[in-house]
Amino acid sequence: MLNQKENIIKSNNTINNHKIVIKIEHLKKSFNGNNVLKDINMIVCEGENVVILGKSGIGKSVLIKCIVGLIYPDAGLLKVFGKEVAEMNSRELNILRTRVGFIFQGNALYDSMTVRENLEFPLRRNKTITDPHVIEELIVDALENVGLVDAIDKMPSELSGGMKKRIGVARTLILKPEIILYDEPTTGLDPLTSREISNLILKIQNKYKASSIIISHDLNCSKITSNRMLILHEGIIRAEGTFDELKSSDDEWVRSYFKID
């Protein structure tokens, strides 16, 4: 959709008339001398799906945790919807976390709660919707989106891995986020279920016009979901382009990410 290098950022908030929803410049983050993120520069535009590839332990989860203020960068700029996350107070951070949904690596469902209760949880915490009928409608609507209305009274332990992922997506969708951060949505799933989740991510982009960052090692998922891809390596974004551009890159190192053994 967009190639940053070939485009001029015309103002702080748009690039070629696309609204920028996430803007990161010179972001750094270390943990006890471990320089994980050294100089991250990237943008995400409204309605765009950006896939981030990168080896295990390279800092992908750290990067997206910075976007919702779960981890604070040591230096650099990180603006979401035009506002610097590091300067947000707790009220603003709460609002940010309703506008930006986070689907954690692993499922992060509450094991002692039913599917209904898991989905109710963000609404209760958010406190903007209290009418039980409206809550029920939202839960059913979110479950319909992921094709799992029948699971409403089940416990997470009764669900398969793929179903848990879909419930995790439904729980995030319930607050109608404008940005969704997916941390390895298909890891550990069989190829068919992975494809279902990838198609769900695409459906959500089209239905809600949401922008997303999808962290993935899964090339099929990247191909299905991405408008643009970034490769994170040694603390910087080493490569950027569409799936096809990167797959046929002149740089052998870039192409190596697309080899299937």
Residues making contact with ligand ATP (CB under 6 A): 31, 34, 36, 54, 56-62, 105
Minimum CB–partner distance for residue 106 and ligand ATP (Å) = 10
Of 235, 217, 259, 247, nearest in space to 73 by CA: 235
Minimum CB–partner distance for residue 261 and ligand ATP (Å) = 18
Residue 212 is a binding residue for Mg ion (CB under 5 A): no
Phi first, then psi: give them for residue 215, nearest 5 degrees: -90, 125
Per partner kind, with CB cut-offs from 5 to 8 A, the member of Mg ion, ligand ATP, none near residue 58 is ligand ATP
Minimum CB–partner distance for residue 195 and ligand ATP (Å) = 21
- Encode the chain in three state secondary structure: CCCHHHCCECCCCEECCEEEEEEEEEEEEEECCEEEEEEEEEEEECCCEEEEECCCCCCHHHHHHHHCCCCCCCEEEEEECCEEHHHCCHHHHHHHHHHEEEECCCCCCCCCCCHHHHHHHHHHHHCCCCCHHHHHHHHHHHHHHCCCHHHCCCCHHHCCHHHHHHHHHHHHHCCCCCEEEEECCCCCCCHHHHHHHHHHHHHHHHHHCCEEEEECCCHHHHHHHCCEEEEEECCEEEEEECHHHHHCCCCHHHHHHHCCC
**Nearer CB in complex with ligand ATP: 33/132:** 33
**Nearer CB in complex with ligand ATP: 56/206:** 56
**Nearer CB in complex with ligand ATP: 126/220:** 220
Minimum CB–partner distance for residue 234 and Mg ion (Å) = 16
Position with the least CB separation from Mg ion: 61
Per partner kind, with CB cut-offs from 5 to 8 A, the member of ligand ATP, Mg ion, none near residue 36 is ligand ATP
Residue type, 5: K
Residue 61 is a binding residue for Mg ion (CB under 5 A): yes
Site for Mg ion in 64-103 (CB under 5 A): none
Residue 211 is a binding residue for Mg ion (CB under 5 A): no
**Nearer CB in complex with Mg ion: 57/82:** 57
Per partner kind, with CB cut-offs from 5 to 8 A, the member of ligand ATP, Mg ion, none near residue 110 is none
Minimum CB–partner distance for residue 36 and ligand ATP (Å) = 4
Minimum CB–partner distance for residue 184 and Mg ion (Å) = 6
- Judged by the rule CB under 5 A, the positions of this chain that interact with Mg ion are 61, 105
